[in-house]
Amino acid sequence: MAGKKYVDGFVIPVPKDNIAEYKKIATKAGKVWMDHGALAYYECVGDDLDTDFGTSFPKLTKLKPDETVIFAWIVYKSRSHRDKVNAKVMADPRMTAMSKQKPLFNIKRMSYGGFNSLVVL
């Protein structure tokens, strides 16, 4: 995926007991994003989070003992491409249906931002 891209990034503390259900919903959501033009969609679950380097994800997210971290990102051609894709995603009936389900995590603790790529190898 050479060349500069635009990326939406997410850090989400999720209860460990909800990971299997989260995966099902994230898989469905990823298909919606890809159907509307996202270049790549990743959802990763924490595995090696206890580190002495920098600020660990558990410290950053104030992780509770029964939670883990989801680190996710979606890749687009540009910010304007992201805006077009996201508008289509938010209007998609599949997303509307998913948004009516019981939340699997506290959305107020989710971190999100859009990023211009700086280095792409």
d(CA 96, CA 90) in angstroms, rounded, equals 7
pLDDT in tens, 1-39: 667 899 999 999 999 999 999 999 999 999 999 999 999
- What CA–CA distances, in Å, run from 102 to 18, 26, 63, 98? 11, 14, 21, 9
pLDDT in tens, 46-80: 999 988 888 899 999 999 999 999 999 999 999 99
CATH of domain 6-114: 3.30.70.100
pLDDT value at position 2? 65
- What CA–CA distances, in Å, run from 19 to 5, 44, 104, 119? 29, 11, 8, 31
Q: 95: part of which helix (H) or strand (E)?
A: helix 93-99
pTM metric for this prediction: 0.92
Burial of residue 76, with CB atoms counted within 10 A of its CB: 0-12 exposed, 13-18 middle, 19 or more buried: buried
Q: Sign of torsion, CA 81 99 17 61?
A: positive
